[in-house]
Amino acid sequence: MSLFTYDASRALYDRAGMSIVGGVNSPARAFKSVGGDPLFVTRAEGCHIWDADGNRYIDYIGSWGPMIAGHAHPEVIAAVTGTAQSGTSFGVSTEAEIQIAEKIRSMVPSIELLRMVNSGTEATMSAVRLARGYTGRSKIIKFAGSYHGHGDSFLIKAGSGALTLGVPDSAGITHGIASDTLVAEYNNLESVQKLIQANKNEIAAIIVEPVVGNMGTVPPLSGFLQGLKKLIAKSGIVLIFDEVMTGFRLARGGAQELYDITPDLTTLGKIVGGGLPVGVYGGKADIMKCLAPLGPVYQAGTLSGNPLAVAAGLATLNLIDNAEVYTRLENSGKMLEQGLLQAAKNAGISITINRVGSMLTVFFTSGPVTDLSSASRSDTIKFSRFFRGMLNRGVLLPPSQFEAMFISLMHDEDAIKTSIKAAEEAFMEC
Ligand code: KE4
């Protein structure tokens, strides 16, 4: 196996650190938990990504979810470059914003009205503010290990980069904010029931990743999501599905279609922007109409519904708006999962793979992994050795045990088989 060199990335990392905090614009990119320095990328196409040293990788980060159609898809590139010829931002509304709103509503029918913003964080922050304004209540319930972006209310027992870096409770969050965030255990309805009973008529919303991606992939146990809905019935609590990661990923209508559950509000991001900055929140009209300019809950944004981002998002949604896409993604996911399980077995390494469609995580624990405490039993040292072994063999995984791998429509059989072959050797190095 020819060892890759990373000199150009290292030089860029050293230079980046002179101007950018930690040399990265998001901690998840820092490679902190897998050792070594972060990569710097020069380009990507299809399922491949190239770094500054010219190393080519089969990419399973997929920009943390958006790149379901593959990198630099010609139809997305054409949509963005074509739109840019007519200007990049107006601060005045455009027809394209209506087109993407109608498209989203056709794919996610629980969304009667929506508002576009510029990130998943803006979507979740705004959805919680809206739920608080609609109910007149202050508290929210989130789940330990879930990540809903870096809004103050969410950085309590948070997942993703916060969990990876060991700071699930961020500094800088006031006691007042933190006291309004109650934390339950994912897949544990009793923990939710106890919080509701102890905080009668004080809880505005429950925000949940219907399939968690931010402690690694953790699907809902049978009856969990339905149980949440039953628990809050007639309570006045707003159910928010944070589908920033699962939206358009797990089915054309996201997790709510897959599990046939209708939330009151949904947050979206990632895929809906096709790789450009887009967030969306939407749901029941009577709740959404509390938003300015119709109602008293304020939210705004200079670049919300930006023409280029909308063009990339609409082109991406048009590429995936058919059931055959999700059959293909399921088949690719199954093939990769089975190949990785066999490779680990042959190497005598205990792993658990949680997978839903084209979203999966290899946990270095004998499992099952159903919540934060079981996810946290994973051997992160073994994961880091596996990560390195795969990287040196041209396969780029998300640089954290507590993240999800993403398969795109451009991960063909050859890419999947190459990844499995790399894993057969990388598991031997764990
Ligand atoms: P952004 O603000 O990063 O667009 O979205 C925040 C967010 C909200 N909800 C869910 C379920 C999410 O997964 C995210 C962001 N996901 C992480 C990766 N697990 C973003 C990667 C990063 O922070 O760099």
Which of 121, 212, 272 maximizes ligand 1 atoms within 8 Å of its Cβ, making it the mutation to test the pocket? 121
Residues 185 and 81 in one domain: yes
Ligand 1 site, residue 119, Cβ cutoff 6 A: yes
Residues 314 and 215 in one domain: yes
Is 3 exposed, middle or buried (CB count within 10 Å of its CB: 0-12, 13-18, 19+)? exposed
Whether 422 maps to a domain, the answer reads yes
Q: Among residues 304, 320, 336, which one ends one of the domains?
A: 320
Q: Among residues 259, 294, 320, which one ends one of the domains?
A: 320
Residues 193 and 339 in one domain: no
Which residues, other chains included, contact 58 with Cβ-Cβ below 8 Å and sequence gap of 6+? 47, 48, 394, 395, 396, 411, 415, 418, 419
Whether 202 maps to a domain, the answer reads yes
Whether 66 maps to a domain, the answer reads no
CA dist 312 to 85, 153, 161, Å?
A: 14, 30, 26
Residues 380 and 280 in one domain: no
Residues 228 and 368 in one domain: no
> What is the predicted pLDDT for the residue at 89?
98
Q: How many CB atoms lie within 10 A of CB 229?
A: 14
7 catalytic per annotation: no
Whether 56 maps to a domain, the answer reads yes
Ligand 1 site, residue 121, Cβ cutoff 6 A: yes
Whether 65 maps to a domain, the answer reads no
State in Å: Cα 355 to ligand 1 middle: 19
Residue 396 contacts residue 390 (beta carbons within 8 Å): yes
Residue 177 contacts residue 228 (beta carbons within 8 Å): no
Whether 144 maps to a domain, the answer reads yes
State in Å: Cα 149 to ligand 1 middle: 5
Which of 29, 67, 122, 147 maximizes ligand 1 atoms within 8 Å of its Cβ, making it the mutation to test the pocket? 147
Residues 175 and 279 in one domain: yes
CA distance 55 to 49: 8
CA distance 339 to 341: 6
180 catalytic per annotation: no
Task: Give, using CA atoms, the residue closest to atom 6 of ligand 1.
Answer: 149
Ligand 1 site, residue 214, Cβ cutoff 6 A: yes
Residues 315 and 332 in one domain: no
Residues 412 and 369 in one domain: yes
Which of 20, 165, 214, 281 maximizes ligand 1 atoms within 8 Å of its Cβ, making it the mutation to test the pocket? 214
CA distance 223 to 145: 20
242 catalytic per annotation: yes
Which residues, other chains included, contact 119 with Cβ-Cβ below 8 Å and sequence gap of 6+? 149, 269, 277, 278, 279
Tell me, what amino acid is at 295? G
0.75 exceeded by the pTM? yes
> What is the predicted pLDDT for the residue at 3?
74
CA distance 11 to 170: 30
The CATH number assigned to the domain holding 98 equals 3.40.640.10
Residues 291 and 358 in one domain: no
Phi-psi map region of 71: left, alpha, beta (phi>0 left; psi -120 to 50 alpha):
beta
Q: Among residues 320, 353, 386, which one ends one of the domains?
A: 320
Whether 93 maps to a domain, the answer reads yes
Q: How many domains does the chain have?
A: 2
Residues 125 and 154 in one domain: yes
> What is the predicted pLDDT for the residue at 166?
84
The CATH number assigned to the domain holding 408 equals 3.90.1150.10
Q: Which domain covers residue 88, as residue numbers?
A: 74-320
Q: Which of 51, 59, 180, 242 is catalytic?
A: 242
Which of the residues in the chain have pLDDT under 50? none
State in Å: Cα 279 to ligand 1 middle: 10
Is 188 exposed, middle or buried (CB count within 10 Å of its CB: 0-12, 13-18, 19+)? middle
Half-sphere exposure of 318 (CA within 13 A, CB side): 13
> What is the predicted pLDDT for the residue at 168?
82
Residues 370 and 279 in one domain: no
Tell me, what amino acid is at 312? A
Residues 109 and 258 in one domain: yes
Whether 120 maps to a domain, the answer reads yes
> What is the predicted pLDDT for the residue at 1?
52
Per DSSP bridges, beta strands 359-363 and 352-356 are antiparallel
